[in-house]
Amino acid sequence: MLAVRTAGLFKLDGAVGIAALAGRLKMDEIALTRAFTHLGEAVGIDWVQSAAARMEPTDPWERLLISGVARDMQQVRLDFLAQGKGKDVSDHVEKWLIERGARIQQFRALVQRAKAAASPNVAMLAEIAGQARGLLGR
């Protein structure tokens, strides 16, 4: 039973951060969740987070790096959504996607190269996470 509950935590991924941000900015949790998901899909970082979750680390250091990558993918989205300062979060995401279209395509090409690799590794994901921080932090 404990194993089933623990495995179910993956489904809640990001939920605590979204709830906390919604409360802090006095925003609708559902709208914020949709924006969080849309942003991840549109940019390609949802795949990075999923790939990190599927990896099987070979040592404790690799486990820490993988965990950090997954955490970064959540946090960069939350930080980006917070930049909207409670405005229409969907509009905030859509405007940004349009304004940064060329840069997003470059980033998505980086993600596609990692997806196409025979076996994506933690170094690839760590590099993509760094690029995501730069992309969404602007």
Model confidence pLDDT, tens digit, residues 73-101: 999 999 999 988 867 899 999 999 999 99
**Is it the case that residue 104 has pLDDT exceeding 50?**
yes
Is it the case that residue 128 has pLDDT exceeding 50?
yes
- Residue the block writes with tokens 């809640």: 12
Q: Is the pLDDT of residue 137 over 90?
A: no
Q: How many domains does the chain have?
A: 1
Please tell me the distance from the alpha carbon of residue 125 to that of residue 133, in angstroms, as a whole number.
12
pLDDT tops 50 at residue 2: no
pLDDT value, residue 24: 87
Per-residue pLDDT, averaged over 64-69, amounts to 92
Q: Average per-residue pLDDT in the chain?
A: 87
Amino acid at 49: Q
Which pLDDT value is given to residue 93?
94
Contact 44, 105 (CB under 8 A): no
pTM > 0.85: no
Q: Which domain holds residue 19?
A: 2-136
Name the nearest CA neighbour of 128 among 60, 81, 117: 117
The set of long-range contacts for 105-114, using a CB threshold of 8 Å and a minimum separation of 24, is 107/43, 107/44, 107/131, 107/132, 107/135, 108/43, 108/44, 111/44, 111/45, 111/47, 111/48, 112/44, 114/48, 114/51
